[in-house]
Structure 1
Amino acid sequence: MSVSNPEAFTPLTGGCQCGSVRYVVAAPPRRHSLCCCVDCRRSAGAPIVGWASVAEASLTITGQTAGYNSSGDIERAFCPRCGTGLFYRSASLFPGEVDVSTGTLDDPSAFSPTEIIQVADAPTWWETIGSLPRHARFPNEA
């Protein structure tokens, strides 16, 4: 799917790990960023976090989320039952938008990332990630 082709857009669905929170995104994302910033890494417990920036009006959420103010006006929403990080909002940085964690999409292959951001905060091994061995599942132990 092309992020810039609204005619071919199929609504995106997703939710938390336990299923208590579900969502639908009814309009195409403006971008799909992979973020390396310290706040995202610590919040997710992962080296990279994918975010699809969508219009707030295009997002429908069912279930209750809890919020955490990580800095300034940045609000991170998560499932209070299982802890899955779901949404990121900042009225000063992205008014009228919400970032949806693309790791929570039912189909994470629905569209490709469009950029990698905050690489100044990336771990020093970031540049070598493409050369690591790849395994379809866990590697065989010797």
Structure 2
Amino acid sequence: MILAGGCQCGRIRYRVEVDELDAYLCHCRMCQRATGGFAAALKQVKRGAITWAREPDRYRSSPIAQRGFCAACGTPLTYEGDGSEGLDLTVGSFDEAGRLTPVEHSGVESIHEAWLHTASLPRSRTDANPRIVQKWKDAGADLPD
């Protein structure tokens, strides 16, 4: 199946052919720092299966890998290990990220357990927050998806 995605501002877009909808969470410190999150949600794909409308900007994040991102909006897009036939796309960059399913935890030496078990926390919708809704209205814009 073909999935599409890209950065927040739309400058960088991709299409990728995948066989499965499996993804994983990487908890290593490099991924935490690169994404600013407690983990990086990633989908491994074959390099030859991805078509970029525009190549991402890249940053050599370690001696063994580089990361693709959008220099305009800052969206993290890839983890690209040197010499690998595949690369990892960030789950959040997929247009239909909810189709992907986590099947594994990686880099667990740096895992933050408290952030994994959040189902019992209170939940709220963005469109139910009057302060945020008003900010969007004042900006003359619609709430994002």
Whether the TM-score (by the shorter chain) exceeds 0.5 is yes
Contact 1:15 1:86 (C-alpha < 8 Å) held by counterparts: yes
The RMSD of aligned alpha carbons is: 2.2
Change (3 A) 1:29 1:21: farther
- Structure 2, unpaired ranges of 5+: 131-145
Identity of aligned residues (%): 32
Q: Superposition pairs for residues 91-102 of structure 1, below 5 Å?
A: 91-92=82-83, 95-102=84-91
Alignment-mate amino acid for residue 117 of structure 1: S
Out of 64, 71, 76, the position equivalent to 2:67 is 76
Larger Rg: 2
- Count of equivalent residues: 130
Give the distance between the partners of 1:37 and 1:134, measured in 2 at CA: 27
Contact 1:30 1:53 (C-alpha < 8 Å) held by counterparts: no
Q: Superposition pairs for residues 1-142 of structure 1, below 5 Å?
A: 10-29=1-20, 31-92=22-83, 95-123=84-112, 125-126=114-115, 128-137=117-126
TM-score (norm 2): 0.78
Give the distance between the partners of 2:48 and 2:59, measured in 1 at CA: 21
Change (3 A) 1:30 1:80: same
Give the distance between the partners of 2:24 and 2:14, measured in 1 at CA: 19
**Greater helix fraction, Structure 1 or Structure 2:** 2
Contact 2:21 2:99 (C-alpha < 8 Å) held by counterparts: no
TM-score (norm 1): 0.79
Residue 4 of structure 1 is matched in structure 2 by none
